[in-house]
Amino acid sequence: MPFCGGDRLREAYRRAQAERFAFMANNVAEPNILIGLLEASTEARSDLLVQISPGAAKFAGGGDKRAGLRGLSALIRELAAPYPICVFINLDHFTRGEMELIEEAIEDRLVSSIMIDASQEAFEENIRLSRAVAEAAAGTGILIEAELGKIKGVEDEISSDEALYTDPDEAVEFVERTAADLLAISVGTQHGVSKGRDLELRVDLAAKIRDRLAAAGLDAPLVLHGTSGLLPEQVQEMIGYGICKLNKDTHYQYVYGRTATEFFAEHATDILPPEGVEDDVGNLFARGDWSPNKKAFDPRAVGAEIQARVREIAHALIEQAGSSGKTLWEAREDQQ
């Protein structure tokens, strides 16, 4: 079963820390991006971390977050089954409003890890909520990621107009008191379309946080959100300072939109009626001579293009993260 739980994920992060690489944590809301990621990760011999945000769950469930979360988790686990890599599922940016869903995901082992995002709350309340989730997951193996600081920009249902950089002193207290397994830090990256060249990246802060945690005997892997706009050299630098998880959503969304735009522009005359032909969508043009071309408008046609393009981009991103060739899958005899 290539869907792997938190115990294996912990092992994967340990290895990433020891060998100085990271995992791209990729948001999914539908199958095309997921399939592109599964193909690329398998070819690269990299384990794959996919994540579901509350907004993605809501979308996939036609407005019903619970149905969408259960549906996406089942889809990922089913599609992952034949691929010879470990596939991990993370809940991304789940907040105090989704506590019941978090409990259900833990209870039914729908995921490998969960991010509780209480970064919008005051310090004490952030600790209280994050700790509550860590306690709920205790003994299940499911890992908990908590965030300290604020990431600027918009990611689904989370938005912040300002960046609040993580305080290294607070980071130690935060990890100790929440018992979080992973710490998401704010060091100048932004959610959404951002430009690496213009960001005020504080790599020094990432290093300080890592050092303070280590001095306190804490080895929580660090997580960087909002990495879509980062330049490859910035990613490398961040990995050097202890980042093990690089969250990515916007980049794939762009690849999706770009591929669809190009595909439909190229096939516009197969789909749109020419001048002078009645626009009879209601009857699928059954009364006239002109017909649209099913090879162009079948969603699977554009879907296949999207899968191929995501696969290509994911290859480059896996290389950047350094996780290629590092899959844990073959390392275990009981799985061969």
Catalytic residue numbers, as ranges = 92
Q: Which stretch binds ligand G3H (CB under 6 A): 213-221, 224-232, 279-287, 294-302?
A: 224-232
Residues in the chain: 336
Those residues whose C-beta lies under 8 Å from the C-beta of residue 321, and which sit 6 or more positions away, are 21, 22, 23, 24, 46, 235, 239, 246
Are 173 and 216 spatial neighbours (Cβ–Cβ below 8 Å)? Answer: no
In DSSP notation, 304-326 reads HHHHHHHHHHHHHHHHHHT-TT-
Is position 250 an interface residue for ligand G3H (rule: CB under 6 A)?
Answer: yes
Q: Please give the residue whose beta carbon sits closest to Zn ion in the complex.
A: 225
Per CB under 6 A, 234 contacts ligand G3H: no
Residues 13-72 that bind ligand G3H (CB under 6 A): 27
Pick 105 or 302: Cβ nearer Zn ion: 105
Residues 80, 88: Cα–Cα separation, whole Å: 9
Q: Which is nearer to Zn ion, 112 or 247 (CB)?
A: 247
Query: How far apart, in whole angstroms, are the C-alpha atoms of residue 132 and residue 336?
Result: 38
Token duo for residue 161: 């107009």
Tokens of 210: 């890592």
**One of 39, 47, 147, 155 touching ligand G3H (CB under 6 A):** 155
Query: DSSP per residue over 36-57, as a string?
Result: HHHHHHHHHT--EEEEE-HHHH
Whichever of 72 and 172 has its CB closer to ligand G3H, that residue is: 72
Q: Does residue 112 contact residue 76 with C-beta atoms inside 8 Å?
A: no
Among 8, 58, 248, 315, binds ligand G3H (CB under 6 A): 248
Quick check: 225 binds ligand G3H (CB under 6 A)? yes
Half-sphere exposure for 43 (CA within 13 Å, toward CB): 15
Piece in contact with ligand G3H (CB under 6 A), picked from 76-84, 244-252, 289-297, 323-331: 244-252
DSSP, res 169: H
Residue 192 binds: one of ligand G3H, Zn ion, none (C-beta under 5 to 8 A by kind)? ligand G3H
Which region among 99-107, 242-250, 254-262, 278-286 touches ligand G3H (by CB under 6 A)? 242-250
Instruction: Identify what 250 binds: ligand G3H, Zn ion, none; CB under 5 to 8 Å per kind.
Output: ligand G3H
Angle at CA 43, nearest 5°, toward 12 and 1?
55
Q: Is 227 in the site for ligand G3H (CB under 6 A)?
A: yes
3-state secondary structure 119-166: CCCCHHHHHHHHHHHHHHHCCCCCEEEEEECECEEEECCEEECCCECC
Size of the site for ligand G3H (CB under 6 A): 15
CB closer to ligand G3H, 85 vs 224:
224
Q: Map the footprint of ligand G3H across residues 93-132, applying CB under 6 A.
A: 93
Q: Nearer to ligand G3H by C-beta: 112 or 247?
A: 247
Yes or no: say if 37 and 310 are a contact pair by the CB < 8 Å rule.
yes
Q: Among residue numbers 216 through 255, which ones bind Zn ion (CB under 5 A)?
A: 225, 247
Nearer to ligand G3H by Cβ, of 159 and 335: the residue is: 159
Which residues within the stretch 178-207 sit at the binding site for ligand G3H (CB under 6 A)? 191-192
**H or E stretch including 91?**
strand 87-94
Measured from the CB atom, the residue of 247 and 320 that comes closer to Zn ion is: 247
Give the shortest CB-228-to-ligand G3H separation in angstroms.
3
Instruction: List the single partner that 8 binds among ligand G3H, Zn ion, none, CB under 5 to 8 Å by kind.
Output: none
Give me the residues that bind Zn ion (CB under 5 A), please.
Answer: 155, 225, 247
Give me the residues that bind ligand G3H (CB under 6 A), please.
Answer: 27, 92-93, 155, 191-192, 225-228, 247-251
